[in-house]
């Protein structure tokens, strides 16, 4: 949507491009939409997003109440539909799935209770919008109750950790029940029954407000300012798939998306939808962001919901990145851009790079099996061959299978 004087909307509103915008636009998709002719935009869009059942992805309209909440509280809301072919012997399995991205709500210098309360208050409004839209399964962003303070290496941020059945879970249990919605809640967990150990955890809350189970982040980053290994260890919960009233779901937490075997394991356990709640910044990972999730959806014949937080979080004390550059007090810009990818290689556009948002998608889960039948990736995967390689690789005397050219150093001048 371009404004009346041809300027991108936020440039006009704020007199300058918002931090994280692309020349004043919220996303690449919106930049293209505003600057290409409708015919060219349609073609570009089809190339970028792929086709679903041989057609462009359809946008769906949402109730007035959702739009009113988005308008009043300035969050981006977008909604699309992934179709599957109609089958003779199986009913459609359509579920409405939502992703929420958000910035923190007050400065990181505020009292911790006030920070958490303010985030919960703002996220509640977006959950209300998801509820008003009839969302069945909703996933929040990684460590949603707090700033992503792990860059600082300061242990005081551990105060945000809470038991899996703690305050934020109880808060969401009420909303899950109210809206008959499954909610996936990524938190910093404190395991009080095991010596107060801290984990990066997701809690799956069923549509009756019950806790179905938890999963703990499998792969912990040691890259850039993501000093998460200072706070928690690799998870001990394997690759659970949660069978909910609306489908089988799993959660690959943030940095796990760089590990194809992590994606595979959730697929082998039967997931139809895998969420990837994340916290990641532009320079480090943005070129990977649209590729990895989409590739996982294709390779594993399931839907992926990718979520990233938004905004720049400034911390009270400056820290260094161990790269010889000056100390700094922020992590860089969390670029939002939450979106869905489908097993047939289509995907939605992304939410805003700088505003809070709610991405909604209807998806017929039958598409997962239809794509398995079409591409037969499971049938052609040769898992036994790879199981063998991996078990050899794990042995201390493993020798890489390399066949060297015997003439490699024998070329005459
Ligand atoms: N939160 C987290 O694991 N971030 C790591 C950076 C990335 O994977 O992009």
Residues of the chain falling short of pLDDT 70: 1-16
Q: Which atom, in ligand 1's list, is nearest to the CA of 288?
A: 9
Ligand 1 pocket: which of 200, 251, 256, 279 to mutate (most atoms within 8 A of CB):
279
Report whether residue 357 contacts ligand 1, using a CB cutoff of 6 Å. no
Catalytic residue (one of 217, 248, 292, 313): 217
Catalytic residue (one of 139, 151, 254, 368): 254
Of 406, 339, 395, 393, the residue nearest 49 (C-alpha): 339
| Active-site residue, 228 included | no
Are the C-beta atoms of residues 307 and 275 closer than 8 Å to each other? Answer: yes
Report whether residue 144 contacts ligand 1, using a CB cutoff of 6 Å. no
Of 47, 5, 39, the residue nearest 290 (C-alpha): 47
Ligand 1 center–CA 255 separation, angstroms: 4
Report whether residue 78 contacts ligand 1, using a CB cutoff of 6 Å. no
Q: Is residue 85 part of a domain?
A: yes
| Active-site residue, 217 included | yes
Q: Is residue 406 part of a domain?
A: no
Tell the residue nearest (CA) to atom 3 of ligand 1: 255
Ligand 1 center–CA 70 separation, angstroms: 28
Q: Is residue 10 part of a domain?
A: no
Q: Is residue 230 part of a domain?
A: yes
Tell the residue nearest (CA) to atom 8 of ligand 1: 255
Are the C-beta atoms of residues 198 and 223 closer than 8 Å to each other? Answer: no
Of 339, 384, 330, 372, the residue nearest 357 (C-alpha): 339
DSSP-based three-state secondary structure for 26: coil
Q: Which atom, in ligand 1's list, is nearest to the CA of 217?
A: 3
Report whether residue 308 contacts ligand 1, using a CB cutoff of 6 Å. no
Ligand 1 center–CA 226 separation, angstroms: 7
Report whether residue 249 contacts ligand 1, using a CB cutoff of 6 Å. no
Report whether residue 284 contacts ligand 1, using a CB cutoff of 6 Å. yes
Sheet holding 94-101, edge to edge: 58-59, 76-82, 357-364, 94-101, 137-139, 182-191, 197-205, 211-216
Report whether residue 149 contacts ligand 1, using a CB cutoff of 6 Å. no
Catalytic residue (one of 26, 33, 142, 313): 142
In the prediction, which pLDDT does 5 show?
A: 42
When divided into structural domains, the chain yields a total of 1
Q: Is residue 339 part of a domain?
A: yes
CATH number of the structural domain spanning residue 185: 3.60.110.10
Q: Which element (helix H / strand E) includes 124?
A: helix 112-132
Write the Ramachandran bin of 241: left for phi over 0, alpha for psi from -120 to 50, otherwise beta. beta
Q: Is residue 202 part of a domain?
A: yes
Ligand 1 center–CA 306 separation, angstroms: 12
In the prediction, which pLDDT does 8 show?
A: 62
| Active-site residue, 116 included | no
Q: Is residue 388 part of a domain?
A: no
Are the C-beta atoms of residues 351 and 63 closer than 8 Å to each other? Answer: no
Ligand 1 pocket: which of 200, 220, 285, 337 to mutate (most atoms within 8 A of CB):
285
Report whether residue 285 contacts ligand 1, using a CB cutoff of 6 Å. yes
Tell the residue nearest (CA) to atom 9 of ligand 1: 280
Q: Is residue 9 part of a domain?
A: no
pTM of the model: 0.96
Host domain of residue 231 = 51-377
């Amino acid at each position: 949507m371009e404004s009346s004087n041809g300027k991108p909307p936020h440039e006009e509103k704020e007199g300058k491009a918002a931090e994280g915008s692309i020349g004043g636009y919220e996303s690449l998709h919106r930049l293209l939409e505003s600057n290409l002719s409708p015919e060219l935009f349609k073609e570009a869009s089809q190339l970028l997003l792929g086709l679903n059942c041989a057609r462009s992805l359809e946008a769906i309209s949402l109730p007035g109440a959702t739009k009113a909440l988005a308008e009043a509280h300035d969050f981006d809301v977008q909604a699309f539909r992934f179709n599957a072919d109609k089958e003779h012997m199986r009913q459609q399995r359509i579920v409405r799935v939502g992703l929420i991205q958000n910035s923190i709500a007050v400065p990181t210098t505020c009292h911790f209770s006030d920070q958490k309360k303010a985030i919960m208050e703002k996220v509640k409004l977006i959950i209300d919008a998801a509820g008003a839209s009839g969302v069945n399964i909703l996933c929040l962003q990684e460590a949603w109750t707090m700033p992503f303070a792990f860059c600082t290496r300061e242990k005081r941020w551990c105060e945000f950790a809470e038991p899996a059945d703690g305050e934020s879970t109880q808060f969401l249990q009420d909303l899950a029940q109210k809206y008959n919605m499954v909610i996936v809640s990524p938190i910093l967990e404190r395991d009080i029954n095991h010596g107060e150990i801290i984990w990066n955890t997701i809690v799956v809350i069923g549509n009756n407000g019950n806790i179905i189970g938890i999963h703990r982040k499998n792969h912990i980053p040691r890259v850039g300012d993501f000093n998460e290994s200072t706070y928690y260890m690799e998870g001990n919960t394997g690759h659970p798939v949660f069978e909910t009233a609306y489908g089988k779901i799993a959660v690959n937490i943030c940095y796990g998306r760089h590990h194809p075997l992590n994606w595979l394991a959730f697929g082998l356990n039967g997931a139809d939808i895998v969420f990837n709640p994340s916290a990641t910044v532009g320079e480090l990972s943005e070129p990977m962001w649209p590729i990895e999730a989409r590739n996982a959806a294709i390779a594993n014949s399931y839907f992926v919901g990718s979520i990233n937080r938004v905004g720049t979080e400034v911390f009270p004390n400056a820290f260094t990145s161990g790269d010889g550059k000056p100390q700094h007090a922020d992590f860089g810009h969390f670029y939002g851009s939450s979106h869905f990818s489908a097993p047939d290689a289509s995907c939605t556009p992304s939410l805003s790079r700088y505003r809070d948002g709610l991405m909604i998608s209807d998806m017929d889960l039958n598409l997962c099996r239809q794509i398995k039948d079409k591409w037969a990736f499971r049938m052609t995967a040769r898992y036994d061959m790879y199981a063998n390689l991996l078990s050899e690789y794990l042995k201390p005397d493993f020798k890489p299978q390399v066949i060297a050219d015997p003439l490699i150093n024998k070329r005459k001048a």
